C-alpha cells in the first residue's frame, strides 16, 4: 500500500505535514508506505531534526506549489510540476493508492476530476464531513462545498455515496439517511427538496428515513445527512465555530471536543475512482496524521470498488 501526501499544502506546511507523516508512519505496518510529494530539500531537514531516517518514506520531488489563493483550473494546467498535479498523476497511473493534501481545495477537486475522474454513473462527486452526535460517535454530511447548487438526481446520489461510505469506512450498520429540509413532512422545502424526496425514497439500497431539520444535525435521527454544498458548507463552518467558542470561553465538554477537526483529519471526495482526501487549511500534525490514517482505511475498505458496484447495478 502506498499513501500519497502533498506535504507542501496547508498554512503550516511543510513542517506540519512532515511531522504528521512521521506520526502516521509510526503506526502503519511495514508494507504501508507514505509517499511524500513536494520540495524534498525542505522535508529532509525536518526529518533530521526529528532524528527520522528519510528512507522511512518515499519522496517525489516537485518544483512548484499551488498556493491557496490560485485559480484551481489554471493552477493545475499551468503548474504541471506542482505537488498536487504530480500527486494526481501518480494516482492516475496507479503508482499510489490514495492522495491527500491540506492545500488548495479547488485544485484538489479539479485535480481529481481531471485525473482519476468520476466513477461511471456518478453525476457529481461530493465532499463529505463528520458530524458529532450528542450521545456518541458521529454522522456523515454531504455535500459540504463541492456543489453549491444541486439537481434532485445529484442529491439522491449523495444519499447512496454517503451510505456506502458510512458503512464501509466507519462500520455504521444500515445507516439512516436523512434529507436536510425546513420541515419533516414530505411536501416541505424548496422545489429541489420536494423533487429529491421521492428519488431518495425509491432508492432500494439505502435506509432513507425522510426529511430532517437543522435541529436534528447533532442528534441520532440520521447517520447520513444529505444537502447541497452551499447548505452543507454553512452548517460545517457554524459547527467549527462551536468548537472555537468553547475554547475561547474555557468551556470543557466531551461533546464539543468532538468538533475538533483534528480527530477526523480531512474530508473525502466521494464518487471518484480513487481515495482522495482534502485536509483543513490550518491542519496540524495531528490532523495530517489522521488524514493519512483515513486514507489507509479507505483503501483497506475497498470503498471505491463498493461505490462502483452500487452504481453499476
25-69 residue pLDDT tens: 999 999 999 999 999 999 999 999 999 999 999 999 999 999 988
User: How many Å separate Cα 217 from the centre of its chain?
Assistant: 19
Q: What is the mean pLDDT of residues 74-88?
A: 94
What percent of the chain shows pLDDT beyond 70?
100
CATH superfamily of this structure's domain 123-263? Isopropylmalate Dehydrogenase (3.40.718.10)
Say which DSSP state 113 is in: H
CA–CA separation, 58 and 80 (whole Å): 20
Residue 173 has pLDDT above 80, yes or no: yes
Residue 225 has pLDDT above 90, yes or no: yes
Residue 313 has pLDDT above 80, yes or no: no
Which residue carries 423533487 as its cell?
195
| Nearest by Cα to 230 from 261, 201, 190 | 190
Find which of 86-100, 131-145, 231-245 is predicted with most confidence, using mean pLDDT: 86-100
Mean confidence (pLDDT) of the chain:
94
CA–CA separation, 183 and 214 (whole Å): 9
Confidence of residue 254 (pLDDT cuts 50, 70, 90): confident
For residue 186, give the C-alpha cell.
Answer: 414530505
Q: Do domains 1-118+271-301 and 123-263 have the same CATH topology?
A: yes
CATH superfamily of this structure's domain 1-118+271-301? Isopropylmalate Dehydrogenase (3.40.718.10)
Determine the straight-line distance between the first and last CA of the chain, rounded to whole angstroms.
28
Q: Is 255 exposed, middle or buried (0-12, 13-18, 19+ CB in 10 A)?
A: middle
Q: Where in the chain are the domains?
A: 1-118+271-301, 123-263
Q: What is the mean pLDDT of residues 102-106?
A: 93
Give Cβ neighbours of residue 266 (< 8 Å, ≥ 6 apart). 100, 102, 277, 278, 279, 280, 283, 287, 290, 291, 294
Residue 132 has pLDDT above 80, yes or no: yes
With b for 16 or more beta-carbon neighbours within 10 A and e for fewer, the 72-91 pattern comes to: beebbeebeebbbbbbbbbb
Amino acid at each position: 500500500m502506498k499513501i500519497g501526501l502533498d506535504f507542501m499544502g496547508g498554512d503550516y506546511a511543510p513542517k506540519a505535514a512532515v511531522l504528521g507523516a512521521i506520526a502516521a508512519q509510526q503506526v502503519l505496518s511495514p508494507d504501508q508506505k507514505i509517499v511524500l510529494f513536494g520540495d524534498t530539500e525542505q522535508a529532509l531537514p525536518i526529518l533530521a531534526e526529528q532524528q527520522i531516517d528519510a528512507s522511512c518514506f518515499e519522496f517525489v520531488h516537485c518544483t512548484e506549489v499551488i498556493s491557496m489563493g490560485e485559480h484551481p483550473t489554471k493552477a493545475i494546467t499551468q503548474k504541471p510540476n506542482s505537488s498536487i498535479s504530480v500527486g494526481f498523476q501518480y494516482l492516475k497511473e496507479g503508482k499510489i493508492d490514495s492522495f491527500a493534501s491540506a492545500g488548495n481545495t479547488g485544485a484538489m477537486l479539479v485535480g481529481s476530476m481531471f485525473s482519476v475522474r468520476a466513477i461511471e454513473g456518478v453525476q457529481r462527486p461530493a465532499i463529505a464531513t463528520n458530524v458529532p452526535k450528542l450521545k456518541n460517535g458521529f454522522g456523515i454530511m454531504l455535500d459540504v462545498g463541492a456543489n453549491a447548487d444541486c439537481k434532485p438526481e445529484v442529491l439522491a446520489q449523495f444519499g447512496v455515496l454517503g451510505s456506502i461510505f458510512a458503512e464501509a469506512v466507519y462500520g455504521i450498520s444500515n445507516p439512516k439517511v436523512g434529507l436536510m429540509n425546513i420541515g419533516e413532512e414530505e411536501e416541505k422545502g424548496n422545489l429541489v427538496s420536494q423533487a429529491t424526496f421521492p428519488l431518495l425514497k425509491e432508492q432500494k439500497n439505502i435506509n432513507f428515513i425522510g426529511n430532517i431539520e437543522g435541529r436534528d444535525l447533532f442528534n441520532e435521527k440520521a447517520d447520513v445527512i444529505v444537502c447541497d454544498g452551499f447548505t452543507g458548507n454553512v452548517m460545517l463552518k457554524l459547527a467549527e465555530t462551536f468548537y472555537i467558542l468553547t475554547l475561547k470561553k474555557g468551556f470543557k465538554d466531551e461533546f464539543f471536543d468532538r468538533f475538533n477537526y483534528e480527530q477526523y483529519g480531512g474530508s473525502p471526495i466521494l464518487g471518484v475512482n480513487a481515495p482522495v482526501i482534502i485536509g483543513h487549511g490550518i491542519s496540524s500534525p495531528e490532523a495530517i496524521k489522521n488524514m493519512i490514517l483515513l486514507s489507509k482505511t479507505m483503501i483497506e475498505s475497498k470503498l471505491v470498488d463498493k461505490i462502483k458496484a452500487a452504481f453499476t447495478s
